[in-house]
Amino acid sequence: MTDRASSATRYPQIKKFARPADLRARLSELGSELGDHAPGAVPVDDAVDPAGPLATSFTVSDASAGDRTVGNRFAILPMEGWDATTDGKPTDLVERRWRRFGAGGAKLLWAEATAVVADGRANPNQLVMSEPNVEAIGVLRSSMVEAHRERFDTAEDLLVGIQLTHSGRWSRPTTPAPRLAHDHPLLAGRTPAGATVFTDAELDDLIDAYVAAAKRAQRAGFDFVDVKHCHGYLLHELLGAHDRPGRFGGSFDGRTRFFRTVVERLRAEAPGLGVALRLSAYDFVPFAPGDDRIGVPATTGDGAADAPYRWAFGGDGSGLGVDLTETHAMLDLCRELGVGLVSITAGSPYYNPHIQRPAYFPPSDGYLPPEDPLVGVARMLNATAELQRAHRDLAVVTGAMSYLQDWLAHVGQAVIAGGGATAIGLGRMALSYPHLPNDVLAGVEFDRRLVCRTLSDCTTAPRNGLISGCFPLDDFYKARPERIELGRIKRGLRG
């Protein structure tokens, strides 16, 4: 059975819903699966008002950068590029992507994952915020802003940041070079050989690297930097390091020491630079393909080791549930540090992508969804709403919206109107349909030819050594030779 056939026999596709009422009906059917996440988790409006909630401005308040007005409620989320030069500089492909984001109409532009050191890259063609690259990345930022100004006549209400990262366990600067926050028995078999745990002294040095990279980003013209704590990368893994000895593990204070130290130093050393946080608000146990490639929770085979599950920040100990107690504490820490902008996501694309980026079709190295992807959307929106309503002074951006496809704006408008988030984040959808925000705010009907259908080719291609892009829907990538190679790879994987 093919991936598409298997999924199609289990869950209805979003594109089959002809009206908002059809989506609401499906959500009602899923009530038992949604459990505690059901009440109001996915509000759906019947119509979208171009001058309504999504068109309103909002304010981001930062202890150092002050108050900044953002012109609408759309945000481009930071994704990971696979098409920079091998020394981490932008290429024409990177510039094309950034300019499309700039011209698309979103007023919060959160630029892609950029390594603070070369050996912290997740792939050999990721951007690196090194000293030799500052000028080129600054030109890239300027090009994106200019694309926005050319389309909308102003960039005064635009806020532009960049995500800073170290890939930790998933580092692959040329070949796999994993560095760990702590040992993890369920990920040990998925981690390449030669992995070593960062010492406290090495983390001290890495703090220096983050601060230096952030100061370079400020020189390059960015309004803020994101100290990335999500998706299984190093700083997210630190948040789950309950068993790590020393200054960076154990207690909540220890596990957040890295973040706190970086922010405090930036306040002293980079005045005027805003700081943001992209956070995996909760995590689950790793999943793996089971029967018919449907995802199943991994275990060590040792019941005592598997329960309680200790490594999930925002988890309830079962490995399959959410407890946002420490996530609330993390946002309290943001408030204390004057960090006013937070993007909510979950889990990791490496070991449980269905809770992070719900999709109908998995990438080549993934598994079929173990739940209707709408459950993953509801879980994310419910968690975001709980966090936003408890921290109304923070600007909170939600994720997992791309799976809603044709109904993204209907849900997004209802979420904003109900106080469930400050802004609506676009990730995969922005690759295929970067001007979606402009179409929504201009009252233009969705171009269904460009709506992301979560085919996952944007992941399958780079996981197999190709460049990143939307090969099914973007004419530019359709015409590239990599599309032919991607088709060959997928046929080979299907046998």
3-state SS record for 374-429: HHHHHHHHHHHHHHHHHCCCCEEEECCCHHHHHHHHHHHHHHHHCCCCCEEEECHH
Residue 294 pLDDT: 95
Residue 492 pLDDT: 84
Kindly report, residue by residue over 240-285, the tens digit of the pLDDT.
999 999 999 999 999 999 999 999 999 999 999 999 999 999 999 9
With a cut of 60, say whether residue 87 has pLDDT above it.
yes
What is the per-residue burial (b if ≥16 Cβ within 10 Å, else e) of 184-215? bebbeeebeeebeebeeeebeebbebbbbbbb
Domain identity same for 302 and 329: yes
Q: Using CA atoms, how far apart are residues 481 and 469, in angstroms rounded to an integer?
A: 13
Residue 140 pLDDT: 99
With a cut of 70, say whether residue 115 has pLDDT above it.
yes
Q: Using CA atoms, how far apart are residues 170 and 191, in angstroms rounded to an integer?
A: 8
C-beta of residue 459 within 8 angstroms of C-beta of residue 349: yes
Kindly report, residue by residue over 206-246, the tens digit of the pLDDT.
999 999 999 999 999 999 999 999 999 999 999 999 999 99
With a cut of 90, say whether residue 494 has pLDDT above it.
no
Look at strands 66-70 and 341-345 and give their pairing.
Answer: unpaired
Residue 4 pLDDT: 46
Beta strands in 245-391 (DSSP E): 274-280, 287-289, 295-297, 341-345
Q: Which residue has the tokens 């409006």?
A: 45
Residue 305 pLDDT: 53
157 SS3 class: coil
Q: 442: pLDDT confidence band, cut at 50, 70 and 90? A: very high
When pLDDT is averaged across residues 369-374 and rounded to a whole number, the result is 96
C-alpha dihedral, 214 to 380 to 72 to 410, nearest 10°: 160
Residue 495 pLDDT: 64
Range of lowest pLDDT (212-226, 288-302, 397-411, 430-444): 288-302
Q: Using CA atoms, how far apart are residues 121 and 238, in angstroms rounded to an integer?
A: 17
Domain identity same for 437 and 324: yes
C-alpha dihedral, 256 to 377 to 76 to 17, nearest 10°: 180
Q: Token pair for residue 55?
A: 């068109």
Domain identity same for 183 and 301: yes
Average predicted confidence (pLDDT) for the chain: 95
Domain identity same for 144 and 66: yes
Helix axes 373-390, 20-29, angle to 10 degrees: 90
Residue 185 pLDDT: 92
Domain identity same for 445 and 481: no
Residue 302 pLDDT: 64
Domain identity same for 251 and 330: yes
With a cut of 50, say whether residue 2 has pLDDT above it.
no
> In 3D, which of 212, 206, 115 has the Cα closest to residue 164?
115
**List of residues 6+ apart from 403 with CB closer than 8 A:** 14, 357, 358, 359, 360, 373, 374, 376, 377, 454
Q: How far is CA 276 from the centre of its chain?
A: 13
Domain identity same for 64 and 212: yes
Q: Using CA atoms, how far apart are residues 329 and 335, in angstroms rounded to an integer?
A: 10
363 SS3 class: coil
Kindly report, residue by residue over 120-146, the tens digit of the pLDDT.
999 999 999 999 999 999 999 999 999
Look at strands 395-398 and 341-345 and give their pairing.
Answer: parallel
Q: Read off φ and ψ for residue 278, nearest 5 degrees.
A: -100, 125
User: Greater confidence, 488 or 306?
Assistant: 488
Q: 10: pLDDT confidence band, cut at 50, 70 and 90? A: confident
Q: What percent of the chain shows pLDDT beyond 90?
A: 90
Q: Which of 414, 432, 449 is the last residue of a domain?
A: 449
Kindly report, residue by residue over 299-332, the tens digit of the pLDDT.
876 655 567 899 999 999 999 999 999 999 999 9
Domain identity same for 480 and 429: no
Domain count, the chain: 2
C-alpha dihedral, 13 to 397 to 136 to 131, nearest 10°: -120
When pLDDT is averaged across residues 178-201 and rounded to a whole number, the result is 95
Q: 8: pLDDT confidence band, cut at 50, 70 and 90? A: very low
Q: Which residue has the tokens 């030109």?
A: 139
Domain identity same for 469 and 377: no
**List of residues 6+ apart from 263 with CB closer than 8 A:** 227, 275, 337, 338, 339
> In 3D, which of 349, 369, 350, 351 has the Cα closest to residue 359?
369
Domain identity same for 439 and 483: no
What residue type is 303 in one-letter code? G
Domain range for 250:
3-449
Q: What percent of the chain shows pLDDT beyond 70?
A: 95
When pLDDT is averaged across residues 160-177 and rounded to a whole number, the result is 98
Domain identity same for 52 and 165: yes
Q: Read off φ and ψ for residue 457, nearest 5 degrees.
A: -65, -25
Model confidence, pTM: 0.96
Domain identity same for 466 and 342: no
Q: Using CA atoms, how far apart are residues 304 and 321, in angstroms rounded to an integer?
A: 18
When pLDDT is averaged across residues 447-470 and rounded to a whole number, the result is 95
